[in-house]
Amino acid sequence: MTAAQTINGALRKLPIWPIYLIGALPPVWYFYLGLTGGLGVEPIKEFEHRLGILGLQMLIAVLAVTPLRNLTKVSLIRFRRAMGLLTFYYIAAHLAVWLFLDVQIAAQIWADIVKRPYITIGMVGFVLMIPLAITSNNLSVRKLGARWRKLHKLVYPIALLGAVHFVMLRKGWQIEPLLYLAGIALLLALRLPILRRVGWPMRPARQG
């Protein structure tokens, strides 16, 4: 038995619910920190930014599942739905903090969404996530069939929108958001069919 098979065998025995449970905690923890001074003297922005970064990190983990399997044969695919739903949860919390704690003023919220490109981009990314979250259940997978796979390819533009949103909101060209953008671009590039021709390990193209 190869190492990958051993690891996959062990992973198969793990339950999935602890991922939801543990994954649900960070926003609650940040909220507690925000209430008790643990997020510094401006806790609103800090709370908002931590949630956004957490969402991007989970999204990167989601995108890494397939290249990881192609490269090492280790498969985390059983956990990917949980990871995707946690991404949605973090970004929804990020949006809620922006709406209710940060901007607060209804008229300004709409003005910002329409007038500020980085907010427009972030908002589009969030809206695109909604159908993915809604169809993250076995019934939808069965009912939609091949269309489900197509629909869930939306995660690629969503990831790019998220990273671009991050790059644009900082003053000047800063290293940290550019690293996130580069990481996401790399994970997407690893899916380009052209790589198969140069011998990159990839599953055969699926029918339908």
Which tokens sit at 190? 């690893």
Q: Which of residues 149-168 bind other proteins (CB under 8 A)?
A: 168
Distance CA 2, CA 69 (A): 14
Part of the chain binding other proteins (CB under 8 A), chosen from 63-71, 104-112, 125-133, 149-157: 104-112
Quick check: 28 binds other proteins (CB under 8 A)?
no
| 2 phi and psi angles, rounded to 5 deg | -80, 165
Q: Which of residues 175-204 bind other proteins (CB under 8 A)?
A: 175-176
Q: Is residue 121 within 8 Å of 165, Cβ to Cβ? A: yes
What is the closest distance, in whole angstroms, from the C-beta atom of residue 104 to other proteins in the complex?
A: 6
- Nearest alpha carbon to residue 159 among 127, 125, 119: 125
Which tokens sit at 16? 């999935």
Query: Which residues, including other chains, have CB under 8 Å from residue 160's CB and lie 6 or more apart?
Result: 181, 184, 185, 188
User: Which lies closer to other proteins via its Cβ, residue 47 or residue 180?
Assistant: 47
Q: How many residues bind other proteins (CB under 8 A)?
A: 29
User: Which lies closer to other proteins via its Cβ, residue 69 or residue 94?
Assistant: 94
Quick check: 173 binds other proteins (CB under 8 A)?
yes
Quick check: 99 binds other proteins (CB under 8 A)?
no
Query: Which residues, including other chains, have CB under 8 Å from residue 199's CB and lie 6 or more apart?
Result: none
Interface with other proteins by CB under 8 A: which residues?
A: 31, 34-35, 39-44, 47, 101, 104-105, 108, 111-112, 115-118, 168-176
